[in-house]
Every structure is written in structure tokens, then in C-alpha cells.
Amino acid sequence: MSELLQEWRHEPLDRDAAVVLVPIRHHSPACARHLRALLGAVRPAAVLIEAPCDAEPLIPHLLADDAEPPLALYTTWIERQGRDEPRHHASYWPLCEYSPEWVALRTAAELGAEIGFVDLDFARMVQAGRRGERDRIDSLQDEAHLQRGRYLDALVRAAGVRDPNELWDHLFECPADRDPWAFFDGVLAYCSASRHGSDPAELEHDGTLAREAEMVRRVAAARGRHPGRRIVVVTGGFHSVALRAVDWSAESGGPPTALSPDSQVTLMRYAYEQLDRLNGYAAGMPSPGFYERQWRGEAVEHTVTAFGRALRVLRPEGASAADSIAAVEQVRGLAALRGHHRIGRQDLLDAITSTFVKGSDDVEGVAVQAVARKLLAGERRGRIPSDAATPPLVADFEAGADRHRLSREGGARRELVLDGYRKAAHRAASRFLHRLAVLDVPFAQKVRGPDFARGTDLDRIQEVWSYAWQPATESALIEASRYGASLREAAAARIGERLAQARDGDRRADRAAELLVQAAVCGLHDQLPRLLAAVAALVAEEGRFDAAVAACERLRLVAQACEPLELHRTDEVGKVFTADAVLAAAATAWQRAALLLAEARSWPDDEVQALLDALADWRAAADDVFGGSGPFDRHADEVLAAVARGTEGAPEVPGAALGLLHGSGAATDREVAVAVRGRLAGAALAGSRFVRGLFHTDRSAVWQVGEVLEALDDLLATIDEDEFLRLCPHLRLAFSQLAPRELDAVGRRVAERAGVATSRPLAATALVDADTAVRIRAVDRLLAEELAADGLGAWLAGDDAPPGGPVDG
């Protein structure tokens, strides 16, 4: 180590200094061991730790006897000022058993020292420039600065290791313990090399300098409280480099920055899966399970044996005794070869790879490494102490999960099958999971089952869910606590918030209707009358045909789902909200859509598919909503007939309207044939798109009305190649709606008309997409032109072809 870091040697840490700076790497067992020894030697009056200062009230809970790491401080702040919509910021500050900060807390308490947190609170960090990744909760212990830099890259190469993590292990985790002052001298030299390549402007921009200024103020304030006594300051080594330049004898610091009133900090349990750097965690060390074993002094034989058991995922027999013995010998030999007193993480991984991978590296090797990484990540989950207040919403979730026998231990995802039609307990569990989904809590995901919002899989009577607890589950619940103290209350408030956004925003009735469905599946029956009234008000002024149809469909599905959703209640809510009331609202939405359809004069090209689907749903809903009433059927047919005659906008829509009329018997085969020929004769491209719409709502027309195929065949026989390439994408879309057997029947009819015999199913022929077909034809044309220019045009046509096949070259 001394040779590698020689360039960054500095004055050694002053063993008699009033302010002792201890540079650490987060979650480093070696730093934790040497820090404990240093604190025992210094016996300071105060131990100050790099952590959000507004978390100091939680220190007693972190020191409780029944607090079990991994734990995390979950910090949140909602940025409101100067924003149309508030932006939520959140971050974790994790601790595990071997974190230097955890050891500092526990050792300081044993020594009777004051304990303080000296970093900015989270809100001030964000205001100072700190920005995490959008839509992702990251770590306050981000060590990105220690993972990059030209000098660090040079150190990696000089040490003959693969990355900065292996370099750190080689320099600090694997050597034998030494004098703690000498150890932290080395850590400071390592961090100085990393800081040397940093851009001061970047450090200003990301809030690093503002955080370090706050650390100076709070350390100076602590010196004032303990004059003549020694203070130990535990910070990430990157910050320690800057703090070392401070003249503490002259530094008054000034008053610490006031806390933000909008910032919140909560203690929550954490898990090794999220702590693992290899899972995307932005700070600390990879493979926390491995370093926990190292921290506890576990022999490598135990780790290799555990890996052999884990290997049964790939091999039922696991690992043989001979392989395990060879792996132990290999890992010890590698460690000795590399000069390691302690087994390094990479020593173990290399030994596992060379011993247990029997096949190719890119198949079995990848699988074996995945098993090893999972084992070394560990599965430990923490427990918050009993005296720590649990947010009411988290407590309600825990009680609900226990009531429905859902594991809160994390780990592998579990499957849950619910039969809500027949079992009340399963209905209650389904509502519990749906309420979590409304609150965007990452706990469970529905794999399959009836979807009453989209009208899919309604023939299923069971729901299948996949679920697993993770730290993000708890942090999302903490964040959602602003909506209420129970899942029922919070889900109702969240749906109410979204309803207000729908009413004040784009005012779409279908989105309000979806909220009604969500409330129904969540069992929020007391909210349904209010939501139904809101949907009815938005339907009355809805200006989009597809939105009105979607609202009608969702209302219709709710009315049909009385049994599984328990909408047949007879209490005071049930008297207001009944299936008949929902059907009446659906009828209003249908009539609103009919009015919009009748008044429309054109159809936008960019909404064709949505319009085609909405048109088919609207016509099908007439029978369900009105029970096949003659007047409404006639009204629907009159509106569709007007649409079918339209010539403005997307031609697919009139085609779809004609298909619906033909399917209901309101249009004859002859009328369909005349319309198709007329559209194709008027404009081939528009006619092709018209046919696509026709096939979308009435596939049977392609073989029931023989003149449709004849008209298309006649068109293709008369157009040139360029025109065919223009029509090809639309014709392909038209015919892609047919089933394989239907395509085969169409192909045979066309072949018969052309007098071509067929002996195999045409639908089995491999098809290419339209873009590929266009490119193939373009290449074919270029080839024909080149051959013609060389006088070989007749050869291409098959006349007088050269003997022996194509000419070479």
C-alpha cells in the first residue's frame, strides 16, 4: 500500500489534535474495526458523524438494545415553491452491523460521549444542489467521487486489480489490522487521490461544498460546548480531505443552518438486497453478506459450504465434498499469492469460478456467478426498536399483512391465489392489495385475473398475485402517510386527489370512471356515490368520442360485477349506489358518445386505432346497456350510416362503421361491395385504408362478400409497383386482423380466381413486414437496372439466359 499511495502521502494524523478527523468508507468493516480502536484510545467528549442533522432525535432509537441493523433513516422533502406541481425528493441513509457510523454510535454511547450529526438536513442538501436520480430513491452516502478519477484508474492498473472495489479490498480490507492512526493515514491518502481529480465547480454545483461548510459550523459549535476536550469527527473520506484544511483553533464556524420545516426523517428497517452495490445501490461496498461474515470472523469453509447448498438451484446434488475442499484450498492459495491476510471478496469469487464451473464461462459460468453473488449479498433484514414510533400507515399495513397471512420478511417473491367470488377472506385480501396499488406501494403485483377497469380476463374467477416486501415498501408507505392513517383512508384520499386532478385538468370522463372502478375493487363503497356523480358531470360535457365510450364501458363493467365487488349491498350507501344507477350513468355516456359521433365531421389520422376500437365498443355496448332495445339499435344504425358515408379525415372510420352495419344486418352484401369498389376506384390509398376499417369490425365480409376480394384483386392487377408499395402497409394492416385459417381461405380464393393450384396452406408461408418488403423491392429494382445497363435484361426475364447459370462477377 505504501508504494501505491506514496504520491499522496501527507502529514500524518495528529494523535494529540483537539479535533480528530476520521476518514471512512461507508460500510467498510476495516474502517469500523479501526474506528472502534481509535475511539477507545482517544476517549473523546463528543463523536460527530456525517448524517442529516435533523435525524438527531432518532439517535436514542438507534442506540436501543433491540435495534437490529440493517436500518435506514428515510428522509423526505416536498419541493413546492416555484413549481406548478410539487416534486417529491427522498433518500436513504443506511446502517448495517459493520458500518463505521453504527460502530461510532455504539462506541460513543459506551464511552459516555456526546453524539451529534453534522450534515445538512435533506431539504437543505437538495436546495444546495444535490440531485438524485428522478423517480428513484437513492442514498445520502453516495461515494461516486471515490469510484472515478484518472489517478484512481492508474492505481487500479498499478495494483493489478480489476476495479476500485477490488483495489479497496486489496489496500484496506485484506491486510492485517494495524495501528488505527496509520490505517486512517492510508485511507486519507486514498481519498486525497480521488479528491485531486475533482472539479471544484462540480462540487459547488452538487452541494458538496455547502455540506462541508455545514460540517465546519457544527464541529466548531461542538468545540464551544467542550472547551479543552477532544472531539472525533467521522465523515466519508472525501469530505475529510477538505475538513483537514480547516484551522480549528481559529474557526468559530458561525451558527448552524436552520432546519427546514418541510423535511421529514423516519427510522425504518432495511435489507441487504438493497444495500448491495451490485443491485444499483450508489454507496458503500458490494456483497454486504460477505462483509458481514468477514466482520464476524467466520471461517471461509462456512461460506464455501453455504455456497454448495445454494448451488442446488443449478444442480440438484449441490456441490461435492471434493469440490468444496478444492475451493477452500484455492481461495487460501489465491489470498496468499496476493499477499492478503484476510480472504478478499474477489479471492472467493475467483476460487468459486475456477472450482465449480464445469462448462463454458458464458453459460454455466454466468449461472454460478449469479448464485455466488446472491449468497454474498445476504438476506438479512433489520428490525426497528420497540420504542421507535411506527407511522400509523405502516402499522396498519403490517397488521393487514399479518391478518391476510402475507409474509413481511422479504426475499424471493411469493405467489398468492385469491378466489374473491366465493370467499370473503379472499375478497378482503384482494382489497388490501388493490389499496396498496392505488397508493403506488411496491409490494404486490397482479399477475392475472379479472381487470374490471379494462374489461379483460373477466371470465377468470381467481386473482393471482406475486408479492415480496422490500425497503421501498416501507418508504412508500411512509410517504403515503400524508393521505391517512389507514390503508382504507389513504386509498380513498388518493383517489379523491386524482379525481380533483381529473376535474381540474383535462376533464376526461373515462379517467374519472377508472377511479370509480378502483374504488370499487378497493372496497371503498362509501366513496362510490360521490365518484358516480363526478363521472356523470364529466360525461355531460365530454368532448371526445373515445373517452365517452371508455367511460360507458367502465360503468357497464362495474354494473355487471355486482357479485365479486359486493355492489348488491342494501345499506344507506347501497340505496344510492345500485347497479341500476350505474347502468343509467352508462346509458348517458353511450348517448353522449352517439351525439359526438353524429356531430363529427372528420377523424384525425393519429387516433385511428383508438377510434376503431371505440367504435366497435360503442356499438357492442348498446345491447348490454339498453338490453337490445329496438329504438336504440335503430339510433345506433342511423348514426353509423351517416359515418359510413363520410369522406373527411381517416378513411378507416367510415369503413369500420360500414362493417358494424353489415355485421348487424343493417347493410347488405351488395351495399358493402358497392362501397368498397367505389372507395378503391376513387383513391386507391384511401380505399385501402377504408378496407382496413371494414375488416376491423367485420372480418367475415372478406369471404361473405365475394366482390370485396374481387375488387382488391382487380385493383392490384392494374396499379404499378410504386403504387403497390404505397398501399402495402395499409393492406397488410387490413389482412393482419384475420386468423391464419381465414388468411388461408382468402389465399385459396385468390389463387382459384387466378387459375393457380395450391397444395399447402398459404398461411404457413413466412411473411415479412411492410418495411422489409419495401426494402427488398427497392434492392430488386436496383439489381434489375444494373443488369439492364449491362445488357442482361433478357437474362433477368428468363429469355436466352446464359448456360450454366448466372454470370460470375
Contacts of 256 (CB under 8 A, 6+ apart): 53, 214, 217, 218, 221
Asked if the model's pLDDT at residue 429 lies above 90, the reply is yes
Helices vs. strands in the chain: H and E counts, helices first: 37, 11
Give the three-class secondary structure for 368.
helix
* pLDDT given for residue 706 in this prediction: 80
Using alpha carbons, select from 60, 46, 29, 50 the residue that is nearest to residue 93. 50
Cα 144 from Cα 235, distance rounded (Å): 15
* pLDDT given for residue 570 in this prediction: 44
Which tens digit of pLDDT belongs to each residue from 461-487? 899 999 999 888 988 898 888 788 899
Which range among 22-36, 251-265, 711-725, 769-783 has the greatest average pLDDT? 22-36
Using alpha carbons, select from 366, 346, 344 the residue that is nearest to residue 356. 366
Least confident of 102-111, 390-399, 534-543, 740-749: 740-749
Asked if the model's pLDDT at residue 488 lies above 50, the reply is yes
* pLDDT given for residue 738 in this prediction: 83
Asked if the model's pLDDT at residue 281 lies above 60, the reply is no
Asked if the model's pLDDT at residue 302 lies above 70, the reply is yes
Cα 622 from Cα 635, distance rounded (Å): 10
* pLDDT given for residue 701 in this prediction: 83
Asked if the model's pLDDT at residue 801 lies above 50, the reply is no
Using alpha carbons, select from 498, 525, 511, 523 the residue that is nearest to residue 554. 511
* pLDDT given for residue 29 in this prediction: 96
Q: At what angle do helices 288-295 and 300-310 cross, to 10 degrees?
A: 150
Cα 306 from Cα 603, distance rounded (Å): 65
* pLDDT given for residue 282 in this prediction: 47
* pLDDT given for residue 522 in this prediction: 93
> Is the separation of the CB atoms in 673 and 631 below 8 Å?
no
* pLDDT given for residue 495 in this prediction: 93
Amino acid identity of residue 223, one-letter, is R
The string over 339-375, giving b where at least 16 C-beta atoms fall within 10 Å of a residue's C-beta and e elsewhere, is ebebbbbbbbbebbbebbbeeeeeeeeeebbebbbbb
Give the three-class secondary structure for 268.
strand
Sign of the dihedral defined by the CA atoms of residues 745, 746, 752, 756, in that order: negative
What are the domain boundaries of the chain? Answer: 2-65+95-250, 288-377, 392-487, 615-756, 767-809
The string over 296-334, giving b where at least 16 C-beta atoms fall within 10 Å of a residue's C-beta and e elsewhere, is eeeebeebbbebbeebeeebeebbeeebbebbbebbbeb
* pLDDT given for residue 569 in this prediction: 57
Greater confidence (714 vs 347) lies with 347
* pLDDT given for residue 258 in this prediction: 72
Q: How many alpha carbons fall within 13 Å on the CB side of residue 93?
A: 28
Least confident of 100-109, 116-125, 222-231, 721-730: 721-730
Calculate ∠ Cα 630-636-637, nearest 5°.
90
Give the three-class secondary structure for 204.
helix
Cα 141 from Cα 211, distance rounded (Å): 12
Asked if the model's pLDDT at residue 252 lies above 80, the reply is no
- What is the enclosing helix (H) or strand (E) of 278? none
Least confident of 409-423, 487-501, 566-580, 628-642: 566-580
Which tens digit of pLDDT belongs to each residue from 64-111? 999 999 999 988 887 776 555 667 788 889 999 999 999 999 999 999
> What confidence category does residue 780 fall into, taking pLDDT thresholds of 50, 70 and 90?
confident
Helix, strand, coil content of the chain in percent (nearest 5) = 60, 10, 30
Cα 418 to Cα 411, 447, 464, 660, distances in angstroms? 21, 12, 6, 38
Least confident of 127-136, 361-370, 382-391, 438-447: 127-136
Considering the entire predicted model, what is its pTM?
0.71
Sign of the dihedral defined by the CA atoms of residues 401, 406, 411, 416, in that order: negative
Asked if the model's pLDDT at residue 284 lies above 70, the reply is no
> What confidence category does residue 806 fall into, taking pLDDT thresholds of 50, 70 and 90?
very low
Q: What is the 3-state secondary structure (H, E, C) of 461-481?
A: CCEEEEECCCHHHHHHHHHHH
Cα 795 from Cα 801, distance rounded (Å): 4
C-alpha cell at 115: 453524539
Amino acid identity of residue 653, one-letter, is V
Least confident of 624-633, 640-649, 715-724: 624-633
DSSP symbols for 26-88 = TT-HHHHHHHHHHHHHH--SEEEEEEEGGGGGGHHHHTSTT-BSSEEEEEEEEE-TT-SS-EE
Cα 151 from Cα 52, distance rounded (Å): 31
Average pLDDT, the chain: 84
> What confidence category does residue 676 fall into, taking pLDDT thresholds of 50, 70 and 90?
confident
* pLDDT given for residue 271 in this prediction: 86
Q: At what angle do helices 770-789 and 721-735 cross, to 10 degrees?
A: 160
Of the chain, the end-to-end C-alpha distance in Å amounts to 65
Calculate ∠ Cα 538-542-544, nearest 5°.
145
Cα 238 from Cα 23, distance rounded (Å): 8
Residues constituting the chain: 809
> Is the separation of the CB atoms in 750 and 758 below 8 Å?
no
Which range among 69-83, 87-101, 563-577, 709-723 has the greatest average pLDDT? 87-101
Cα 233 from Cα 26, distance rounded (Å): 14
Asked whether the bond before 740 is cis by omega within 30 degrees of 0, the reply is no
Asked if the model's pLDDT at residue 320 lies above 70, the reply is yes
> Is the separation of the CB atoms in 266 and 391 below 8 Å?
yes
Using alpha carbons, select from 187, 190, 246, 253 the residue that is nearest to residue 17. 246
Sign of the dihedral defined by the CA atoms of residues 519, 520, 526, 528, in that order: positive
> What confidence category does residue 756 fall into, taking pLDDT thresholds of 50, 70 and 90?
confident
Cα 741 from Cα 724, distance rounded (Å): 25
**pLDDT > 70 in the chain, percent:** 87
Tell how strand 46-52 and strand 114-119 pair up.
parallel
C-alpha cell at 57: 432525535
* pLDDT given for residue 805 in this prediction: 42
- Average pLDDT of span 325-348: 94
Least confident of 118-127, 482-491, 557-566: 557-566
* pLDDT given for residue 112 in this prediction: 97
Tell how strand 138-139 and strand 87-95 pair up.
parallel
Cα 58 from Cα 52, distance rounded (Å): 11
- 280 by Cβ neighbours in 10 Å (0-12 / 13-18 / 19+) ranks as exposed
Q: Quickly tell me which residue has 437490529 as its cell.
A: 68
Q: At what angle do helices 180-196 and 150-159 cross, to 10 degrees?
A: 130
**Local structure of residue 228 (DSSP, 8 states):** T
C-alpha cell at 401: 399483512
